[in-house]
Amino acid sequence: MISLIIALAVLLLGYLVYSRVAEKVFAPDDRQTPAIAINDGVDCVPMKPWRAFLVQLLNIAGTGPIFGAIMGACFGPVVFLWIVFGSILGGAVHDFMSGMISSRHGGSSIAEMSGIYLGNAARWGMRIFSIILLVLTGTVFVNSPAALISQLTSMNETFWIVVILLYYVLATLLPIDKLIGKLYPIFGVILIVMAVSVLGGTLFGGYKIPELTLQNLHPQGLPIWPYMFITVACGAISGFHATQSPMIAKCITSEKQGRSIFYGAMIAESVIALIWAAAGVAFYGTTQMLNEAITNLGQSGTVYEISRTMLGTVGGILAVIGVVVCPITSGDTAFRSARLIVAEITNLDQKKIRNRLIITLPLLAVGAILTQLDFNVLWRYFSWSNQTLAMISLWVATAYLLKTGTVKFGTLVTALPATFMSAVSLTYILMAKEGFSLSSSIAYPAGIAFAAALFGVYVYMYHKIKKPLNA
C-alpha cells in the first residue's frame, strides 16, 4: 500500500514541478490559437478549459491505461516505476509538446508537423503510419468494449460492434462541440468516479498491494526490457496521444492553458493506470494468478471480475461503464483524427458534410473488417506501432525546439525520452514473435546502437544550430 501511495504522490509532484519545466522550455505566449484565428465551426471551436481537459482525458484514456496496466502488472510492482516516471518525464511531455506545437501550426496533425521539421519523406511516412495506427486503434477500441458489454447483456459481441461503429459515424462527422463536447465531460466524471471506486476497493477491501521490488515476476519469464515498456503504453507514454492532442489544440483559447490540459490529462491517465495495475495484482494475489485470469477470461473479463467482486453489483456496473466509456471515447476520436489527416492529404474542405462522409465511411469500413481479426494480435501490433509513433513524435518535438525554442539546453526534455523510446521500439520489434524473433544478444545491442545513433544526430544538430529562431 505504501508503494501505491508514494507513486500517486510522485505523480502529483511531477505535475506541479516538471510540467512547469516543460512549459518554460516551450514558452507559451499570447498569440491567437486556431480556435480563435480559424473557428470553422466543425473542428476549430473554442472550448472552456475544464471541458477541453475532460475531452482530452477521454480522448487519450482508452483501454490502454486499464488493459495495458493489468497486463503490465504481470511483471510485478516494478510496473509502478514505469507508469510514474514514464509519464512525468516522457508521456506528459510528449502530449504537451504535441498539442502546443500543433496549436502554433493551425491545429496541424503530427504527420504535417513531421514534414515541417523532419522533411517531406517523414511527412508521407507519418501520414501512412498515423492512419494505420489510428484505424488499428479505433478497431481495438471497438472490440474491447463490445466484448465487455456483451457480458452484461443478452446481445452478442457482433451486435455491439455494429452499434459502436454506428456511433463512431456520428462522432466522426459531427462538429466537435455537438456530440463529443457535450457527452465527454459527463463520461469524464464517470471515468474519475470509476477510478476512485476501484482505488477505494483496493485500499479498503482487505487486499494486499505488494511493495515495490525491481524483481521480474512475470510468470512466463518475459523480460522487463523491452516488453513491459511496450505493454504499458497509454498509462506511461503513447504515440496515439500525438494524434489526439492536435484535436484539442484546435479548441483551446490560450496557449497558457496547455500545461493543465495536455500535461495534466496525461498525469490523470497515469493515475488511472496506476490504480488498475495495483488492483490487478492485489485482487489476484500473485502475478501467476493474474496472468491466468487474463489468459482464461481475456482482458475484458478480468476487468469485469475485479470490478464486480470489489465493488458489488452497483459499484461494479458503475466501474464497468467507466471501462466501456474509455475505449469508445478514444475509438471515435481515433477515426476522427484519421479523417483530419486524410483531409490534409486530399485538401477536402471539412466544412462540407459530404466531404466528411467521403473520408469517414471508407475508414470505418476498414475498421469493421479488422474487428474480425484476433484481438490479442491486433493489440500487440497496436502497442508496438503506438510506442514507435511516440518515439517519432518526441523527435519531431526535439527538432521543433532546436529550430525555434528559446532555451536550447531545454531540448533535452524531449531528446532524452525520444532516445529511450527509440531503444525500446527497435529492441521490441527485433525480439517479438510478431516481429523478427531475434535473440536478446542481437536485439539489445541493436536497440542501444540505434538509440545512440539518433542521439548522436541530435548532438550534431544541437551544435550546428547556433541560435534558435522565433516560432
Neighbours of 437 (CB within 10 A): 10
Look-up of cell digits 484505424: 135
Residues 6+ positions from 403 with CB-CB distance below 8 Å? 117, 465, 468, 469
In the numeric block, which cell numbers belong to residue 157?
459481441
351 vs 369: CA distance, rounded Å: 28
The C-alpha cell that represents 4 in the structure block: 501505491
Rounded distance, CA 470 to CA 463, Å?
Answer: 18
Pair 229, 382: CB distance under 8 Å? no
Position 158: which residue type?
A: T
Residue 292 near residue 71 (C-beta atoms within 8 A): no
Q: What is the pLDDT of residue 142?
A: 81
Residue 176, C-alpha cell as written in the block: 466537435
CB count within 10 Å of CB 438 equals 15
pLDDT given at position 77: 93
Q: Can you tell me which residue has the cell 511483471?
A: 75
Task: Determine the 3-state secondary structure of 174 from DSSP.
Answer: coil
Please name the residue that has the C-alpha cell 477500441: 141
The reported pLDDT for the residue numbered 317 is 76
N-terminal to C-terminal alpha carbon distance within the chain = 46
Instruction: Tell me the C-alpha distance between 34 and 104, whole Å.
Output: 8
Decide which of 1.20.1740.10, 3.20.20.80, 3.90.550.10, 3.90.850.10 is the CATH code for 2-7+30-374: 1.20.1740.10
Can you give the length of the chain in residues? 471
pLDDT of amino acid 378: 65
List per-residue pLDDT tens for the chain, 471 residues long: 788 999 999 999 999 999 999 999 999 999 999 999 999 998 999 999 999 999 999 888 867 788 889 999 999 999 999 999 999 999 999 999 999 999 999 999 999 999 999 999 999 989 988 888 888 878 877 877 887 788 777 788 889 888 988 888 888 888 888 888 888 788 888 888 888 889 999 998 889 988 888 999 999 999 999 999 998 988 899 998 999 999 999 999 999 999 999 999 999 999 999 999 999 999 999 999 999 999 998 777 888 889 889 888 777 777 777 777 777 877 888 888 899 899 989 988 888 888 898 998 898 888 888 777 666 666 667 778 889 999 999 999 999 999 886 777 899 999 999 999 999 999 999 999 888 999 999 999 999 999 999 999 999 999 887 665 555
Residue 33 three-state SS: coil
Structural domain spans, the chain: 2-7+30-374
